[in-house]
Structures are given as structure tokens and as C-alpha cells.
Amino acid sequence: MEHSVAPTAIEGRFAAQLLSGAPGRSAVDVTQRLLAIQGQDPRGARLAIRARSERLTAAHVDRALTADRSLVITWLNRGTLHLICSTDYWWLHRLTARPQFQVGCRRILARSGVGDAAADSGVAVIERALSADGPLTRQQLRDRIARAGLPAEGNVVLHMLMLASLRGIAVRGPMVGAQQAYVHVREWLGEPPASLDHDVALAELARRYLAGHGPASDRDLAKWAGLTVGQARRGLAAIAAELRDRSDGLAELCSRAPAPRGLPGPRLLGPYDPVLLGWASRAQILGPHQQIVTVNGLFRPFAMVAGRAAGTWAWSGDQVDLEPFGELPADVMSALAAEARDVRRFLGAGEPPSAE
């Protein structure tokens, strides 16, 4: 369990996450290390990159999504939106966009009165529209679906887009103003490479996961990727020769340099930060402050001091409002104030793109 993980393992995880040691050099560098960054909160995905890099801004992330086409967002692990490198899209989508997620999506649509035939028709409209006129925003696609005489109210279009994405038709790609538009996958990223053998893909998943999260267990990998423990074990077994022996039984890559001693300095981490999503338990970081993750599954922005949650914060009126859980030393408060200034610099003291 997470609460019994040794301090050296925790230090290793922070280093793997780029929260200690050398920072990432670019948005792609950070994303490649973490493999997949939860992406349903646009500000949170960008702030995850800020906390693991230096001198970048949210505009660098937007440029990677738009001009460079080097990052995309789509539904992957656990049926949730994730920011990934475009070069990882094909194999990761094939491995983690499981058929069960489409079943769940159809059930949600059915509860809104949208049957399978209408859902499939909506996906077909999306595919034709993106192929002919993409990139298109969610609102533009809603208009196309409505003009086709199909249901388009509430979150119906979002779940049609999820279906299209799970089928490998659409991804969230470039920024169009303050919106992230959808694009046709093959027209945006090119034709797919040859499929990896399933076991080869599991091995690559295990290798890449450990690069950004190790040391970790098979259950940690399974929870993060949304796969079975058996699949996680197969992936880890396939790279056994690449793993370092550890007395605690956790897996770690031999190629990873030894973790720097010590914990990260005080940090302001955004909503859905990867440090809370990478393992089966987050008790080591949250301790008694489980309210950072709300009962309806929202992950609040929080301050981390000495590797533990020390408060929450919010972005309000172009400023950071920090609420510590208790009195903090003056030097820690000064470091968090510097972090707040850097958040403001990173975001450009403006609003992040919307989730549309």
C-alpha cells in the first residue's frame, strides 16, 4: 500500500515525475516522460507541465497542440481524456481505448434518449465534417449534428465525440481561439504505423510508465492505465531484464539514474496533477487531507510541501488564492509566493482555454 512505501521510493517517484532533479525542457519533453497527463481540465494539464519545467508558458503547450501537432488530447486510460505526444497516439490508443468504454458511452447516451442508431449517425456526421472542414470546435460540430436532425442537447454531442475518439476517428487537436478544436486523426497525424503486437505494446507501456512513475508495482500500473493486473504483470515480465532489483518489491528501470536525495521544494500543483493519479493510492501525499479529491471525483489544485499536501489554492481574478491547512514557516510561504508568481507568468495572467 502507498502509505508503507519507503522514503527512497517516494523520492524516486518525484524524480521520475520531474518534480525534483533536472526539469523538462519542453511541453513535449514533459509529456513524453509522463506518457499521459489527465486532460479534461485544460488549465490542469498545462499546469502539470509548468510544475515540471522552467521558463515555459501555456502558449508553448498551445503551440505544440496547434502549429507543431506534437501533442493531442483524447480518451485513453480509464476512459478519461489525456494529453499525450502525437507519436504515442496509435499504440497507446489501440492498447488503452478499451471496447468497454464505448459500451459505457452508449449507455450514457441511451439514458439521454439517444439509441445506438442515432449515436452511430452522430459519429458519421462528425467523421464527414472533420474530413471535409476540420478543425472544428465542439459547438460547430453540435450545429452539424443538429442540422442532420439528430439529438444535440446537453452532453449528447460530447459523448458522440467520445465515441468517435474511442473508435480512432477524432482527437482534440489545435487551439482555435480559446477553444480546442477536433480533427480527423488520420488527416491530422497521418496514416497509422503498423500495429504493435499486443504483448510488445504491453511491454512498451510498462517501460514508459516506469520512466515517469517508477518505482511502482503491477497494481499501480494497472490502476493508472485502466488495464487488468494480469496485463500489467505481462508487460512488466516482458521487460524483466531491464528492471533493477529492489528490496521492497517495486519495479524500477535500470536505465533510470539513482533518485536525488531529498524531496521537491514547495510547489503549487494544478487540478488533476499526475502526482495524485499515477499510483493505486495517494495517501502518502494527501495524508489526512483527502478532501483535495472531492466525493464527485474532482481533484483540486493543492500546495505540496516536503512531499505532502499543505493547502489548497484557486485561480481567481488573475491571482492565486492560497489556503494553507495550517501555519507554514516563513521560508515556505515565501517559496509558495514565488510559485504563485510563476503560475501567473505561465498562464499569462489570463484565462486558460475552455473544456469545449
Q: pLDDT (tens digit, 9 = 90+) per residue, 286-295?
A: 999 999 999 8
pLDDT band for 317, please (50, 70, 90 cuts). Answer: confident
> What whole-number percentage of the chain has pLDDT above 90?
90
The winner for highest mean pLDDT among 3-17, 204-218, 257-271 is 204-218
Residue 141 has pLDDT above 80, yes or no: yes
pLDDT band for 3, please (50, 70, 90 cuts). Answer: very low
- Whether 336 is in a domain gets the answer yes
- Whether 216 is in a domain gets the answer no
Task: Encode burial over 69-95: b for 16+ CB neighbours within 10 A, e otherwise.
Answer: ebbbbbbbbbbbbbbbbbebbbbbbeb
Residue 355 has pLDDT above 70, yes or no: no
Among the candidates 167, 182, 204, a domain finishes at 167
Question: In the predicted model, what is the mean pLDDT of the chain?
Answer: 95
**The total number of structural domains that make up the chain:** 2
Beta bridge partner(s), residue 174 = none
- Whether 246 is in a domain gets the answer no
258 versus 26: the higher-pLDDT residue is 26
Q: Please state, in angstroms and rounded to a whole number, the distance separating the CA atoms of residues 147 and 125.
A: 10
pLDDT attached to residue 248: 92
- Continuous segment of H or E residues that includes residue 287: none
In the predicted model, what is the mean pLDDT of residues 122-148? 98
Residue 1 has pLDDT above 50, yes or no: no
Burial of 266 (0-12, 13-18, 19+ CB in 10 A): buried
- What is the dihedral sign for C-alpha 83, 84, 86, 88? negative
pLDDT attached to residue 349: 59
Residue 68 has pLDDT above 90, yes or no: yes
pLDDT attached to residue 259: 62
**Structural domain span for residue 121:** 98-167
In the predicted model, what is the mean pLDDT of residues 8-21? 94
pLDDT attached to residue 352: 56
- Whether 202 is in a domain gets the answer no
Instruction: List the one residue out of 264, 269, 267, 273 whose CA is nearest residue 314.
Output: 269
**pTM score of the predicted model:** 0.95
- Whether 159 is in a domain gets the answer yes
- Whether 335 is in a domain gets the answer yes
Among the candidates 134, 167, 200, a domain finishes at 167
Residue 61 has pLDDT above 90, yes or no: yes
Among the candidates 106, 132, 167, a domain finishes at 167
pLDDT digits (tens, 9 = 90+) for 216-273: 999 999 999 999 999 999 999 999 999 998 999 999 999 877 666 689 999 999 999 9
- What is the dihedral sign for C-alpha 132, 74, 27, 212? negative
pLDDT digits (tens, 9 = 90+) for 78-129: 999 999 999 999 999 999 999 999 999 999 999 999 999 999 999 999 999 9
- Whether 331 is in a domain gets the answer yes
- Whether 206 is in a domain gets the answer no
Q: What are phi and psi of 230, to 5 degrees?
A: -60, -40
